[in-house]
Chains A and B, each alone.
Chain A
Amino acid sequence: MRGGAFLAQRLVALVWVLLGISIVVFLVLRLTPGDPAMLLLGPVATVDDLSRLRRELGLTAPLYVQYALWLGRVLHGDFGRSITMHRPVLAEAFLKLKATALLTGAALLVSSVVGIAAGVLAGWRRNSAADRLSMLLALVGVSVPVFWLGIVLIYVFSVWLRLLPAGGMHSPFGGGPLDTLAHLILPAVTLGAASSGIVARITRSSVLEVVHQDYMRTARAKGLRDGQVLRRHGLKNALIPVITIIGVQMGFLLSGAILTETVFSWPGIGTMLVTAILSRDFPTVQGGVLLVAGLFVLVNLATDLSYTLLDPRIRYES
C-alpha cells in the first residue's frame, strides 16, 4: 500500500529528526554560560557545595557520556527528574502539554472559524465594505503583538467589565469544565487573533481564484443559487491552501503560546520551558523540547495526510 509506505517513511524520518533535535538541544544548553548548580544555590554558594551538587546532578562526566546516559534512559521511557521541580520530567511535561494543547486547540478553532468566515465573506463580496473591514481587521490581527492584545483584553474584560477571569486555568478553590472554559476564552482569542488574520487573507485570495473557474460558471448556469455554488463547489476547492496554512499555523500557535501563557498564567509547556531554560534545568528542557518537536512533526504529517481526504486527486507515492 503506497499510502502506508509513505507513512512508514515519514515515521522513520521522525526518529532522525528527533535524534538531531535532541543533540542540538543538549549541546546548546551546555554551551550556554550558566550552571544549574550555581543557579539553584544562588549567590551564597560555596565552591564545595557547588561541586557536590554538580556531582549529584551528574554534570561532572564528559559530555558524550552524559548524552549517552540520557539517551539510554529516554529510550527506556525515563526522561529523568527535573532539577528544580524535583518531579519526573515526563509526568510534568505531559501535564503541561495537555494545558498547551487545550489552549492551542481553542486558538486554532478561533482562528479557523473567524479566519475562514471573514476570508470567504471578503473574497465572495470583493471590494465591498465587508471585504475592506475584514481585511483591515486581519491586518490589525496580524500586526498586534500577542502580549499587548492579551493585556488589553484582560483590562477590558477582567478588570473593567469583570466578565472573564484574568488568568490561570481554574478559579481559586474551584474547577470544572465550565470554569476552565471561562478561563480559556481570553487566551484563546489572544492567541488566535494573529492566525485568524493570516487565515482570512489566504482564504480570501483562494476564494478569489476559485470564483473565476469554469466549473463555478457551469454551476451557476445549471441554475444554482449563489450560496449553493459557494458551498458545493467553491469552498471545497478553495480550502486546500487554507488547510496548509492552518497546519503551518499550529507551529506558530505553539510558539505564540509561550507569550500567551505568560500573560494569562496559563500552566502550559511554554511557561515550563522558559522557566526551565532560565534555571538551566537540563532534563526538563531536553524532555520538553523533544515532546514539543515530536508533536510539531506529527501535526505536519497529519496536515499532509489531510490533503488526500479533501482532494482525491492528491496521492502520496514513496
Chain B
Amino acid sequence: MTVGVRRVLALLAAVTLLFGPIAFSHPGLAADQTLVVGLVAEPVNLDPAQVTDFNSTRAGRRVVETLIDFAPGSTTLGPNLATSWSVSPDGLEYTFKLRPNVKFSDGTPMNAEAVRFSIDRQINGESAAHKLGWFPYANYNFGTVKDIVVVDDHTVKFVLKEPRASFLGIMQGAAAGIVSPTAYNKLGKDFATQPVGTGPFKFAGWDRGNQILMERNPNYWGKAPRLQKIAFRWASDTQALLAQLQNGTLDLITDLPPDSIAALDKNPQFTVVKHPAIHVWYVGMNTTHGPLRDKRVRQALNYAVDKTAITRDVLKGTAIPAISPINPGTWGYNPDVTRYPYNPAKAKQLLAEAGFSNGFTVNFWVPESGSGMEAPVAMATVIQANLKAIGVTANIQTMEWGSYLKRLTTREQDLFALSWAAGQPDPDFVLYPLFHSSQWTPNGPNRALYKNDQFDALLDAGRKYTDQALRKKIYFQAEKLLTDDAPWIFVDHQLWVMVTKSSVKGFYLGADQDIHVNTAYRQ
C-alpha cells in the first residue's frame, strides 16, 4: 500500500468516526422520552378532514381527535371528546354530550360550536371557512347531514336528511376530527400543515422532506403521554425503511413487505405485532359479462382458488383467508354463509353444469401496486394458475394504479383484483358501496356491477334501523345472499404488521390502521 492510499484511508476513517456518532445522537433529549416513527411516504397534510392517505392520518390524528373512538384494541365505539350520545327513535338525530373543560392546544375551549364548525366547514360551500380548506370526502361522509345544532355549550345535535345507522362510525373517522376554529380561521390554508387540536400531542414543526415533529400537549384532557416528543420520518423504499430500523434511527415501522417480516420475527431486538385490519382483498367478477353472468360459473371460480395457499405462501401469514367481505371479529361477520373451500373438482362440475366444460377465456386486470393491494401481481399469478387448472384462461393485464382505477370505470373488466379498507366495523361501510346497485361504477365502487333487488332492500333496511341486534340479523341475511351469488372471489383479510424495537412498549394498533402512541414508552 502506498503512502497516498494510506493517507486517503486514514482520512476516510477519520471522517466517518468524526461524523458517524453525530448521526445517532438525539441532541438534548433522553432516549426514553422520544419516539421516531417510520412511514412509507411523507404525509401531505395534517388536518384529517383534508386527507386522503394513511400516512397523513397516522400523524394528524395524534393532534386532532374525534368525538368518539374505538376502545383500545377493540372495534367497539367508546367515548372520546364526547362522553355520551343518543340517537332519536327515527334515526334522524344524533345528540352528543361533550366532555367538559377540554381545551385545544392553543388554549381556546373545545365546545359545541367548535364541533359544529369542524363539520360545517366541510359541507357548507358558502362559508368562508370552506374556502380555506379542501375536503375530498365531505360528501361521502357528511352528505346525509342536514343541520348541526348547538344545543348548549356542551351539547351538539346532528340532524340527518335520511336515516344512516352507520353515522356513528363516520363520527369516529378521521374526517370527523374536531379542530380549533380560532386557529383555523387565523392560519387559513396553512392550518393543514400546522393543525391545532385537542390530542395528546401538539404540532411542533415540519422540516419539509425530512421529518414532522410533535410534542406533548400541556392542555391535553386525558392522562399525559409518557413520550415527550415524536418524530415522523419516511422512506418510500422499504429496504431503506428496514435499514433505518436496524441501525437504530427508527423505533417503529409499518407497511413492510411479507418477505421481510419472517426474518425480523426471529430477531429478539425487534417486536413484530400483527393486528387484523378491517380490509378485504378480492377478485371482482363482472356479473354482466359473458360466462360470468352465470352464478354457477362465479361459484366455480371461487372453488378453484386456493386462498389458504395464497395467504400462507405468497403473503407469508400476513393475511387470513376470507369467506365473505366482512372481517371476522366484527359484529357484522356471519360465519354461516356459503363457503368455497379449495375444490377444483367441484369447480369443474359447476362449470360443466353451466355449459362450460371446455372452459373459457377472460381478461384479468391487476394493478402493479396500490393502497391495501398487498402483493397484487404475485397473488394474481397464483389465481391465474388455479383458474387454468379448471380450464379457465385468465389473461393478466397489469397496470399502473392511476391507469387502473381509470380503466375500471369503463366496465370492460372481466376479472379485476382490488381491495377495500373500510376502517370501520359497521358492515354498511363495506356492503353498501361495493354491492348496492346504486353504486355501479362510475357512480360508485360497485365494479362487479352486482345487482340483486332483495339484497338492495336488505342494505336499505340496514341503514334505516338503528337497533344493532336487528341490523345484525339483516346483514347476516344479506351476506348469505351475497356469498351465494358470489360476485367476487373472496380472497383474504390483511393482518396489519408493525415492527418496533423491543424496547418500545405500550402502543396499540387500531382496526382503522391507526398507530396509537398515547400510552407508548421506552423500557
Q: Which residues of A contact B (CB under 8 A)?
A: 32-35, 38-50, 52-53, 56, 84-87, 92, 95-96, 99, 151, 154-155, 157-159, 162-176, 178-179, 181-183, 185, 262-265, 267-268, 271, 275, 278-280
Contact = CB atoms under 8 A, between A and B. Distances in A.
Given A92-B208, A159-B246, A167 B231 contact: no
Of the candidates B24, B134, B234, B240, the one having the most CB atoms from chain A within 10 angstroms of its own CB is: B240
B293 interface: no
18 contacts: A34-B400, A34-B405, A34-B406, A35-B405, A38-B406, A42-B52, A43-B418, A46-B140, A49-B140, A52-B139, A154-B243, A165-B24, A167-B235, A168-B249, A179-B19, A179-B23, A265-B235, A278-B401
A163 B20 CA distance: 5
Given A163-B17, A171-B249, A173-B34, A38 B22 contact: no
A169 B208 CA distance: 11
A305 to B, nearest CB: 32
Contact of A86 (B192, B236, B237, B405): B192
A150 to B, nearest CB: 8
B240 A263 contact: yes
A185 B18 CA distance: 12
A166 B244 contact: yes
Nearest to A37: B136
A263 B243 CA distance: 10
Given A48-B139, A158-B247, A173-B229, A178 B210 contact: no
Interface stretch (B105-113, B306-314, B442-450, B470-478): B442-450
Given A33-B402, A173-B229, A178-B22, A166 B240 contact: yes
Nearest to A155: B243
B26 A171 contact: yes
A44 B445 contact: yes
A178 B15 CA distance: 10
A166 B249 contact: yes
A38 B209 contact: no
Contact of A49 (B139, B213, B406, B420): B139
A262 B209 contact: no
Contacts of B26: 171-174
A3 B244 CA distance: 51
Nearest to B372: A43
Contacts of A178: 18-19, 22
Given A33-B403, A164-B23, A262 B237 contact: yes
Interface string B312-327: 0000000000000000
Nearest to B28: A173
A157 B240 contact: no
Nearest to B47: A86
Given A86-B134, A162-B24, A46 B244 contact: no
B402 A46 contact: no
Interface string B1-28: 0000000000000011111101111111
Contact of B209 (A99, A151, A182): A99
Contacts of B209: 95-96, 99, 169, 267-268
Interface of B: 15-20, 22-29, 34, 36, 41-42, 44-45, 50, 52, 134, 136-137, 139-140, 189, 192-193, 207-211, 213, 229, 231, 233-237, 239-240, 243-244, 246-249, 371, 400-403, 405-407, 409, 418, 420, 433, 439, 442-445
Contacts, number: 191
A43 B405 contact: yes
A162 B16 contact: no
Given A171-B24, A173-B213, A87 B193 contact: yes
A153 to B, nearest CB: 10
B211 A170 contact: yes
Nearest to A34: B402
B34 to A, nearest CB: 6
Contact of A170 (B207, B402, B418, B443): B207
B52 A174 contact: no
Contact of A162 (B29, B248, B409): B248
B31 to A, nearest CB: 11
B413 to A, nearest CB: 13
A271 B371 contact: no
Given A151-B239, A278-B401, A157 B16 contact: yes
Contacts of B34: 172-173
Given A99-B209, A163-B20, A166-B247, A265 B402 contact: no
Contacts of A166: 240, 243-244, 247, 249
A35 B19 contact: no
A174 B442 CA distance: 48
Contacts of B231: 172-173
A155 to B, nearest CB: 7
A149 B353 CA distance: 57
Nearest to B248: A162
A86 B20 contact: no
A203 B10 CA distance: 26
A168 B240 CA distance: 10
Given A46-B140, A171-B249, A265 B234 contact: yes
Contacts of A40: 52, 136
A173 B250 CA distance: 12
B146 to A, nearest CB: 18
B442 to A, nearest CB: 5
B371 A34 contact: no
Given A38-B402, A158-B247, A178-B22, A44 B371 contact: no
Contacts of B240: 151, 154, 166-167, 262-265
A42 B51 CA distance: 12
Q: From B192, B208, B209, B442, name the one whose CB has the most chain A CB atoms within 10 angstroms.
A: B209
Contact of B403 (A34, A53, A151, A181): A34
B407 A33 contact: yes
Given A41-B52, A86-B45, A182-B23, 5 more contacts: A33-B406, A86-B50, A171-B25, A173-B29, A267-B210
A40 B405 CA distance: 11
Nearest first, the 4 A-B pairs at minimum CB distance are: A267-B209, A34-B402, A182-B19, A165-B23
B275 to A, nearest CB: 22
Contacts of A159: 243, 246-247
B210 A182 contact: no
A178 B444 CA distance: 53
Nearest to A45: B445
Contacts of B371: 42
A17 B317 CA distance: 53
A92 B189 CA distance: 15
Given A86-B193, A172-B26, A38 B405 contact: yes
Given A39-B402, A185-B16, A263-B237, A174 B25 contact: yes
Contacts of B237: 262-263, 265
B431 to A, nearest CB: 14
Contacts of A179: 19, 22-23
Given A86-B44, A172-B231, A165 B249 contact: yes
B236 A265 contact: yes
Contacts of A263: 237, 239-240
A264 B192 CA distance: 27
A8 B91 CA distance: 73
A263 B239 CA distance: 8
A181 B19 contact: yes
B227 to A, nearest CB: 12
B29 to A, nearest CB: 6
A49 B16 contact: no
Contacts of B36: 172
